[in-house]
Amino acid sequence: MPSIENEFSAVGIKRGGLLVLRPNDAIKMVRRCRERHVRILGIEAFILTDNTTQPHMEQSLNMSDIEIRNCPMNCWDLAETFLGERVEFNLHFEMVLEEYE
Protein backbone atom coordinates (compact mmCIF):
# COMPACT_ATOMS: atom_id res chain seq x y z
CA MET A 1 0.00 0.00 0.00
CA PRO A 2 1.46 3.39 -0.94
CA SER A 3 2.27 5.85 1.80
CA ILE A 4 -0.23 8.62 2.42
CA GLU A 5 2.38 11.18 1.40
CA ASN A 6 2.80 9.40 -1.94
CA GLU A 7 -0.98 9.43 -2.42
CA PHE A 8 -0.95 13.24 -2.14
CA SER A 9 2.24 13.96 -4.08
CA ALA A 10 0.29 14.87 -7.23
CA VAL A 11 -1.67 17.66 -5.51
CA GLY A 12 1.18 19.09 -3.44
CA ILE A 13 4.33 21.04 -4.14
CA LYS A 14 7.80 19.62 -3.44
CA ARG A 15 10.16 22.13 -1.87
CA GLY A 16 13.53 21.12 -0.49
CA GLY A 17 12.39 17.52 -0.17
CA LEU A 18 9.18 18.48 1.65
CA LEU A 19 5.68 17.92 0.34
CA VAL A 20 3.55 20.97 1.14
CA LEU A 21 -0.19 21.19 0.58
CA ARG A 22 -2.82 23.89 0.40
CA PRO A 23 -5.16 23.82 3.42
CA ASN A 24 -8.02 21.97 1.70
CA ASP A 25 -5.67 19.26 0.43
CA ALA A 26 -4.08 19.02 3.87
CA ILE A 27 -7.58 18.48 5.34
CA LYS A 28 -8.11 15.66 2.84
CA MET A 29 -4.83 14.15 4.00
CA VAL A 30 -6.00 14.34 7.63
CA ARG A 31 -9.15 12.44 6.66
CA ARG A 32 -7.06 9.81 4.89
CA CYS A 33 -4.88 9.49 8.01
CA ARG A 34 -8.02 8.91 10.08
CA GLU A 35 -9.18 6.18 7.68
CA ARG A 36 -5.81 4.43 7.94
CA HIS A 37 -5.33 5.18 11.67
CA VAL A 38 -2.09 7.05 10.99
CA ARG A 39 -1.14 9.45 13.76
CA ILE A 40 -0.37 13.07 12.85
CA LEU A 41 2.66 14.34 14.77
CA GLY A 42 2.60 17.90 13.53
CA ILE A 43 1.55 20.42 10.95
CA GLU A 44 4.20 22.83 9.71
CA ALA A 45 3.11 26.03 7.95
CA PHE A 46 5.07 27.68 5.15
CA ILE A 47 4.83 30.84 3.10
CA LEU A 48 5.83 30.06 -0.47
CA THR A 49 7.09 32.47 -3.07
CA ASP A 50 8.63 31.69 -6.44
CA ASN A 51 12.09 31.57 -4.86
CA THR A 52 11.61 30.91 -1.14
CA THR A 53 10.03 28.51 1.32
CA GLN A 54 9.66 30.38 4.61
CA PRO A 55 8.54 28.54 7.76
CA HIS A 56 5.71 30.22 9.65
CA MET A 57 6.09 28.84 13.17
CA GLU A 58 3.16 30.83 14.60
CA GLN A 59 0.81 28.93 12.28
CA SER A 60 2.26 25.47 12.96
CA LEU A 61 1.00 22.81 15.35
CA ASN A 62 3.09 20.29 17.28
CA MET A 63 1.05 17.25 18.28
CA SER A 64 3.91 14.83 18.90
CA ASP A 65 3.31 14.82 22.64
CA ILE A 66 -0.46 14.30 22.37
CA GLU A 67 -1.60 10.73 22.63
CA ILE A 68 -4.81 10.01 20.76
CA ARG A 69 -6.47 8.36 23.74
CA ASN A 70 -5.65 11.34 26.00
CA CYS A 71 -6.68 14.06 23.56
CA PRO A 72 -9.97 15.78 24.56
CA MET A 73 -11.06 15.41 20.95
CA ASN A 74 -9.25 12.95 18.76
CA CYS A 75 -6.12 14.30 17.15
CA TRP A 76 -7.48 14.02 13.61
CA ASP A 77 -10.33 16.36 14.60
CA LEU A 78 -7.79 18.70 16.18
CA ALA A 79 -5.72 18.75 12.97
CA GLU A 80 -8.79 19.26 10.79
CA THR A 81 -10.04 22.12 12.97
CA PHE A 82 -6.58 23.73 12.97
CA LEU A 83 -6.36 23.59 9.17
CA GLY A 84 -9.98 24.64 8.68
CA GLU A 85 -9.27 27.83 10.60
CA ARG A 86 -6.48 28.60 8.13
CA VAL A 87 -8.18 27.86 4.80
CA GLU A 88 -8.24 31.55 3.88
CA PHE A 89 -4.56 32.10 4.77
CA ASN A 90 -2.00 32.12 1.98
CA LEU A 91 -0.10 29.21 3.52
CA HIS A 92 0.98 25.71 2.58
CA PHE A 93 1.32 22.91 5.11
CA GLU A 94 3.64 19.97 5.60
CA MET A 95 2.01 17.09 7.43
CA VAL A 96 4.33 15.17 9.74
CA LEU A 97 2.95 11.64 10.02
CA GLU A 98 3.81 8.61 12.08
CA GLU A 99 3.63 6.29 9.14
CA TYR A 100 5.61 3.10 8.68
CA GLU A 101 6.14 1.53 5.29
**Is pLDDT above 80 for 34?**
yes
Residue 37: left (phi > 0), alpha (psi -120 to 50), or beta?
left
Give me the domain span that covers residue 75. Answer: 4-98
**Rounded distance between C-alpha atoms, residue 78 and residue 18, angstroms:** 22
> Helix (H, G, I), strand (E, B), or coil: what is residue 58?
helix
Query: What CATH number should be reported for the domain holding residue 11?
Result: 3.30.190.30
**Is residue 40 within 8 Å of 76, Cβ to Cβ?**
yes
**Is residue 60 within 8 Å of 82, Cβ to Cβ?**
no
In the chain, the number of structural domains is 1
pLDDT over 70, % of the chain: 89
pLDDT band at 63 (very low <50, low <70, confident <90, very high): confident
pTM of the predicted structure, to 2 decimals: 0.88
